[in-house]
Amino acid sequence: MITRRSMLQTGAAAAAMAAAGAPALAQAKPYIPLISKGFQHQFWQAVKAGADKAAAEFDVRITFEGPDNETMVDKQIDMLAAALANSPSALGFAALDSQAAIPLLRQAQKKKIPVVAFDSGVDSDIPVATATTDNLAAAALAADKMAEMIGGAGKVALVVHDQTSRTGIDRRDGFLNQVKAKHSGIEIVSVQYGQGDHLKSTEIAKAILTANPDLKGFFGANEGSAIGVVNAVTEMKAKDVKVIGYDSGKAQKAAIMSGTMAGAITQNPIGIGYETVKAAVAAIKGETLPKIIDTGFYYYDKTNIDDPKIAAVLYD
């Protein structure tokens, strides 16, 4: 006979087991926080989708966060500190400022928490691997495409997201170095920084156009920069200025289809997120990793935007 007392005892025992088991279950999965550069661009949502896919596949728990925009270095450092305070199994980090985070990353190293850099590397040997695009090579390709479009001669300007992250530095230098090495007829008249904000980038690009009415081309080095340039060219009716962007997203794809943007470099953001988590899992297991995990890139324009291999890495 089941009495009320036995039912209460059974319930209490079950509750006690559940309480004891909850932390154990939570701890059963390795915890890997990913700190991105922000959420203002669709690019980061695509990176998160890849990370979520890998987390499900490798049975780990992840969190994915970043500051509201890519100017908030201090906010990102606070997020990194909070993630480390939770004693994660490994950590993914995309640095807004490749130097500012190093003291915290040294703490992770002392605690034997493997750090996997993603998208934007860190100027340090602390990360066990970096999942990224070869931004130097990709920007060099953008320079070659620009040279083709403007007949190898004329004035060109760059709007870059920043000069502190590895992506900003490499995309700027990849373009400039290729122009210097192979396209001597091109004159770089301005390199400006819009913090990845399309409104600020628009104003910068408009000022460049005003100062250089004979400008032949613009390179926008990330999603916000590229859209800012497109907006400026549209507002000032500079129809003959060739625009090459970086990344994809709805606005860039629409600009390419309308002809406002000649073409762009696309990364593989889903692949970046996936490879970051995959590398973190391998690092937790003590496996040796390559220092650079090259996630690839393509140049796309109206002629190949529907190519399956390119369509697969574009995002909205």
Domain that holds residue 248: 135-266
In a domain, 313, yes or no: no
Q: Same domain, yes or no, for 150 and 273? A: no
In a domain, 199, yes or no: yes
Q: Same domain, yes or no, for 192 and 224? A: yes
Q: Same domain, yes or no, for 117 and 170? A: no
Query: Using alpha carbons only, how large is the chain's radius of gyration in Å?
Result: 23
In a domain, 6, yes or no: no
Q: Same domain, yes or no, for 91 and 149? A: no
Q: Same domain, yes or no, for 219 and 198? A: yes
Answer whether residue 22 shows pLDDT above 80: no
Answer whether residue 16 shows pLDDT above 60: no
Q: What is the pLDDT of residue 6?
A: 45
Over range 210-223, report the average pLDDT: 97
Q: What is the pLDDT of residue 61?
A: 97
Q: Same domain, yes or no, for 68 and 187? A: no
In a domain, 1, yes or no: no
**How far apart (Å, rounded) are the C-alpha atoms in residues 174 and 179?**
9
In a domain, 280, yes or no: yes
Distances in whole angstroms, Cα of residue 309 to Cα of each of 97, 180, 223, 306, 312: 32, 31, 20, 8, 5
Q: Same domain, yes or no, for 191 and 111? A: no
Burial class (CB in 10 A: 0-12, 13-18, 19+), 136: middle
In a domain, 312, yes or no: no
Residue 106 is part of a domain; what is its CATH number?
A: 3.40.50.2300
Q: Same domain, yes or no, for 38 and 125? A: yes
Q: Same domain, yes or no, for 110 and 148? A: no
Percentage of residues in the chain with pLDDT exceeding 70? 91
Reported as a pLDDT band with limits 50, 70 and 90, residue 102 is very high
Q: What is the pLDDT of residue 92?
A: 98
Q: Same domain, yes or no, for 101 and 31? A: yes
> What is the total count of domains within the chain?
2
Please give the model's pTM, rounded to 2 decimal places: 0.83
Burial class (CB in 10 A: 0-12, 13-18, 19+), 39: middle
Over range 164-183, report the average pLDDT: 96
Q: What is the pLDDT of residue 71?
A: 86
pLDDT digits (tens, 9 = 90+) for 250-282: 999 999 999 999 999 999 999 999 999 999 999
Q: Same domain, yes or no, for 83 and 187? A: no
In a domain, 12, yes or no: no
Over range 94-108, report the average pLDDT: 93
Reported as a pLDDT band with limits 50, 70 and 90, residue 48 is very high
3-state secondary structure of 115: strand
Over range 216-241, report the average pLDDT: 97
